Structure 1
């Protein structure tokens, strides 16, 4: 069972770092040349057992399969894509509609006629939905493709074409394909490789013009607060490190560490030096991990993963897996030969190398307990969209973890005052299991909100938390026991107070089932608007969730705008909404004096058209979702990437003052809003 648990742990960890590798549908896309002008793009889908993929003709309910061309030039489509086998038919009771789907392996062939080899470009992606009744889940599956003249042999024939009307041919091809019977034609977006979103908007392009310098002229503190955000990340990591210290995997390592250093030398001076090197080695190991994560993923990829459905569901399942282990169902340990080998290396070598091996042994042995803590920290860091965030966070984590080990190695007498390992460590393990169980729901909630599934609305989330923390309180009182727990004859004062806190917290959440705001957990629970039944009407909602529509309304009514960049997975956004916006004065100003526009940067709804834009670093990126569009607006126009981000604007898109980020000072927020109104009135006069 230990080996099985370890194997599952590593598999889950690898999946969390590369979610695409575990997609239920593996795509293979290739271009098939031919001597004739008609070529083929062949899409092969390999589905996992129990999963099925919906056909092009699916309508109503599940997402149909589509082939989307971001750019198509020097060629025209020939009819609709053809499948290698017939689809299966069925009736889905959840969608209440007929479904047409494929299982196993299936190939789709899209034919196209090349009219100009030198200008030939075919770029886009195939996208569909895969579902499994056994797993009880559906996922969006897609794969990008890009082909050009290098894929067409110089000797291949091409069709005769009018060089002046290549785009017109493509439009005709689209119309012909759309008229094909019994299949849904692929959607072809206009070529946007050289045009920005602003240029596409025509007369309203000024709404997208950068105003970074104007904000700096106001002395904007938000654009210069990267250091403060990093301090927050560092402190979070530091606190997570102390939590990891009392886990059953880490605590017993303290006396082992001291024993290791006592055997090395009797020189007090050298013992101090070795202990400091040991602590430094722990920090270096975690820093290297943070650097690798930053270089591989980068801030935008981490932020995308933080709201990715697959990533959040896997992390939800991973925390459930850890919780079940901590409850005592099975034990998670790394293979003994790994730790034994590292321990033997530490004993066999001398000098700095042996100390480093000892630090690495600590990292390996403690991974089963620190893994979920580090993962939670990295997800929190991902939402800040800062490239060095993982490095700073893991530095804080490693520093707090290394400090006690270093101190105990320097002052071994301090061990005498430490509580010995025993039943209390198992109790800590079970308490952590309850907390991980509660925290896992946050990850499921992020995916639920970003994709609009509505399977974990607020009342469901609160009901589960009430049950979890009630059970935690009963466990601390000895009313619930798990396999590795010893009999609790008496309840200590500490356990009694912790049980009281847990039960009181469960009672505190009960009114939330009827709509109470519950400010203490607003950052974790889904927003109030997801609740079916609510007696509370004090929550503020934005008038618009579309930038252009909100700005048009503001211009028509001659009112200032408060632009709010937020996210479904943004913890601090929920805190601001439930701690600041709920204030009567703030709510009154926003509701009556401003046009409030909230833009969700992690909204996964697809855009009607794919845009190719150039970011501030000169890199091209494609915007496919609504969230991509708002994220690009925030970075290109305002030079900011973190949420929440508030900026007052006039109806022409020009700032009325500096921006503002996360700060729960209500009076300062009121002054911020009033300053924007004052500037707006001054401009009118």
Structure 2
């Protein structure tokens, strides 16, 4: 299980090094009738050179095997055993330490099915698996097969009249649409800066771990002593630092391919229930490794190969030295990187935010090597390695556990399970940080802690700081808190997701509509402008705006009295009524099943506003006339002026 979780993470992070083809497998399908109730579905795969598509029989704890399954709630057919496969190949994998089974160049799968409903008109079959070269790409394909009488054929996907009608209903005839462009995009800069700083802070924490800290003086001394002149040693050390930054930037590149293929894909990933549960599980797994119960390491052969490669001279040797650092320090940096990866995917800037975070992380790791090379006398001021490094790891373990519950909360919110209401979430954090405080004061110990010594001033000060944070959290479990947890906006569930009865299920108790048509009708009835709010249950920046900006008295009053608020949750996994579900045909010819509330509003946003980010705010009239530019995550003063200007324009038009 430990290896499985580790390699799943590695699939996300290390897939950067050679991704050049985005679709290395092309499928062709046919159907052959065997009897009145049985058919053979034939899937022919054409595979790019040097890529391996893994067999259904590939061993466990290795590259993911192919899985063919019947899709839909009521498939009206069943699979008869596993598919027959054409020629496959076997090869021992040093990574997985197993013999893998795969197709190369081409492969054929023949899956027999049995029809359970003689009146069936269409069936849907999915194939999932993995195709790898130096990198691995998920295979996720959906195939439709259509039946007519006693014959069957695979045909191009078509959209029925119901789907065309419902798609048309999503499209708005917006007026002054050009006003949306411009300044709204500038707000992303602040968000990128924030996550860059968050990544930088994560890198600083990684520096204070036992895997990285002792390497600083060793590496700097190596460069300064190896070179024949001081200037050369300094330039090599700086180049080493630059390569560290480059390596961590490269780790984010594959996610830009995902973002360009489908602008909604990162939002889909970030709000996927099972992926959020996976992130919860893996952060708990990381936390206990920091506590010292086990250690996560990459295969030793990777480090050895990189170390051998680093003996090559010049730029290549220095690059491989930087890569060696990234690999051998993974047991300490991996959990922090995993948290950054998970956190960036659940952020609203997607791949750009991940790149910003990775850049900050790599810069923080690289900075000491360059600075100490420039000023080698500073090395004498570095504290010696010791028990404080293990203390740092344990503290990080508690932080990992605290962040883990954010991902479990995301899953709970989008599915409306009601397991982690706001007060329960805050209560769990209170327990965790009490545990951290007890550890700081040496009331509890972990496996790698040394013998107890007298508490230092810095340790006592930090313990008092943690206890102060616990006191800050306590009002969060009360029905009427003494103060709101504004510093934590976006981490706990929203205030209306509470164990206590609330006046409204809208932010801050405001009146809002969660269906566009209902809100539009209300705006016409009350002759008010619309504030269209594209939001999400798992959207951190949405909560920050609601709890830190909307909560300001003057803004709150405007929202309550002057606007019709329509909040559309793009990650809501509540299933639409069957009569409202349909197949949406994208411009690229591919289709998307609109089955949930979130599917509908995410598509609605993409069609009309050509964006997939949240929060995203639009001011418009009930006649669908845009009043002002769109706004996103921003500060209180900017938001207030934006609201006021939009409302003044609405009043001017009404008085004409």
* CA positional deviation for 1:266: 3.0
TM-score, scaled to structure 1: 0.74
SS in 1 for 2:617: strand
Q: 1:312, 1:443 within 8 Å by CA — same for their partners in 2?
A: yes
CA gap of 1:605–1:230, structure 2 versus 1, over 3 A, is same
How many Å separate the matches in 1 of 2:332 and 2:165? Answer: 47
Match of 1:626 in 2: 597
Residue among 142, 145, 153 paired with 1:144: 142
How many Å separate the matches in 2 of 1:535 and 1:626? Answer: 23
* Pairing 1:484–2:483 present: no
Q: 1:5, 1:331 within 8 Å by CA — same for their partners in 2?
A: no
CA gap of 1:112–1:437, structure 2 versus 1, over 3 A, is same
Q: 1:477, 1:495 within 8 Å by CA — same for their partners in 2?
A: yes
SS in 1 for 2:219: helix
CA gap of 1:426–1:416, structure 2 versus 1, over 3 A, is same
Alignment of 1:403-422 (within 5 A): 403-422=367-386
Match of 1:268 in 2: 230
CA gap of 1:374–1:123, structure 2 versus 1, over 3 A, is farther
TM-score, scaled to structure 2: 0.77
Q: 2:5, 2:282 within 8 Å by CA — same for their partners in 1?
A: no
* CA positional deviation for 1:487: 2.8
* CA positional deviation for 1:584: 2.7
* CA positional deviation for 1:595: 1.1
Q: 2:280, 2:408 within 8 Å by CA — same for their partners in 1?
A: yes
How many Å separate the matches in 1 of 2:336 and 2:631? Answer: 30
Q: 1:566, 1:599 within 8 Å by CA — same for their partners in 2?
A: yes
Alignment of 1:465-480 (within 5 A): 465-480=429-444
How many Å separate the matches in 1 of 2:175 and 2:123? Answer: 29
Residue among 640, 645, 652 paired with 1:682: 652
SS in 2 for 1:420: coil
Match of 1:167 in 2: none
Instruction: Write the deviation string for residues 84-131 of structure 1: whole angstroms up to 9, x where unpaired.
Output: 79xxxxxxxxxxxxxxxxxxx9976355679xxxxxx9575689xxxx
How many Å separate the matches in 2 of 1:564 and 1:416? Answer: 55
Match of 2:321 in 1: 358
Residue among 511, 515, 519 paired with 2:486: 519
Residue among 575, 580, 583 paired with 1:611: 583
Match of 2:6 in 1: 9
SS in 1 for 2:313: coil
Alignment of 1:438-449 (within 5 A): 438-449=402-413
Instruction: Write the deviation string for residues 236-289 of structure 1: whole angstroms up to 9, x where unpaired.
Output: 333332222222222122122123313421311211221122112112222222
How many Å separate the matches in 1 of 2:571 and 2:205? Answer: 30
CA gap of 1:257–1:632, structure 2 versus 1, over 3 A, is same
Alignment of 1:269-418 (within 5 A): 269-296=231-258, 298=260, 299-346=263-310, 348-382=311-345, 383-418=347-382
Q: 1:477, 1:499 within 8 Å by CA — same for their partners in 2?
A: yes
Q: 2:287, 2:401 within 8 Å by CA — same for their partners in 1?
A: yes
* CA positional deviation for 1:30: 8.5
Match of 2:617 in 1: 646
Residue among 214, 236, 239 paired with 2:179: 214
How many Å separate the matches in 2 of 1:598 and 1:293? Answer: 28
Match of 1:131 in 2: none
* CA positional deviation for 1:198: 5.3
Alignment of 1:102-113 (within 5 A): 109-110=115-116
Q: 2:37, 2:114 within 8 Å by CA — same for their partners in 1?
A: no
Unaligned stretches of 5+ residues in structure 2: 16-27, 43-55, 61-69, 82-110, 128-139, 153-157
CA gap of 1:532–1:5, structure 2 versus 1, over 3 A, is closer
Match of 2:93 in 1: none
How many Å separate the matches in 2 of 1:391 and 1:15? Answer: 14
Match of 2:414 in 1: 450
Aligned-residue CA RMSD (Å): 3.9
Residue among 440, 462, 469 paired with 2:426: 462
SS in 2 for 1:33: strand
CA gap of 1:547–1:274, structure 2 versus 1, over 3 A, is same
Q: 1:40, 1:112 within 8 Å by CA — same for their partners in 2?
A: no
* CA positional deviation for 1:565: 1.0
* Pairing 1:663–2:634 present: yes
Q: 2:585, 2:591 within 8 Å by CA — same for their partners in 1?
A: yes
How many Å separate the matches in 2 of 1:493 and 1:461? Answer: 32
* CA positional deviation for 1:302: 2.3
Q: 1:317, 1:440 within 8 Å by CA — same for their partners in 2?
A: yes
* Pairing 1:251–2:250 present: no
CA gap of 1:158–1:490, structure 2 versus 1, over 3 A, is closer
* CA positional deviation for 1:623: 4.6
CA gap of 1:10–1:34, structure 2 versus 1, over 3 A, is closer
Match of 1:562 in 2: 531
SS in 2 for 1:606: coil
SS in 1 for 2:411: helix
How many Å separate the matches in 1 of 2:441 and 2:289? Answer: 21
Instruction: Write the deviation string for residues 595-626 of structure 1: whole angstroms up to 9, x where unpaired.
Output: 111111111223431231435xx564415232
Q: How many residues align?
A: 566
Match of 2:550 in 1: 581
Instruction: Write the deviation string for residues 445-480 of structure 1: whole angstroms up to 9, x where unpaired.
Output: 111111112222212211110000111111111212
How many Å separate the matches in 2 of 1:413 and 1:316? Answer: 44
* CA positional deviation for 1:678: 1.9
CA gap of 1:622–1:17, structure 2 versus 1, over 3 A, is farther
Q: Which moved more, 1:489-498 or 1:378-387?
A: 378-387
* CA positional deviation for 1:385: 4.1
How many Å separate the matches in 2 of 1:611 and 1:210? Answer: 27
Instruction: Write the deviation string for residues 423-464 of structure 1: whole angstroms up to 9, x where unpaired.
Output: 000000000000001000001111111111222221221111
CA gap of 1:301–1:366, structure 2 versus 1, over 3 A, is farther
How many Å separate the matches in 2 of 1:64 and 1:146? Answer: 11
Q: 1:16, 1:311 within 8 Å by CA — same for their partners in 2?
A: no
* Pairing 1:237–2:199 present: yes
SS in 2 for 1:146: strand
* CA positional deviation for 1:353: 2.0
How many Å separate the matches in 2 of 1:677 and 1:296? Answer: 38
Instruction: Write the deviation string for residues 528-559 of structure 1: whole angstroms up to 9, x where unpaired.
Output: 22211269999234421111211122112222
Q: 2:255, 2:351 within 8 Å by CA — same for their partners in 1?
A: no
How many Å separate the matches in 1 of 2:14 and 2:142? Answer: 20
CA gap of 1:113–1:406, structure 2 versus 1, over 3 A, is same
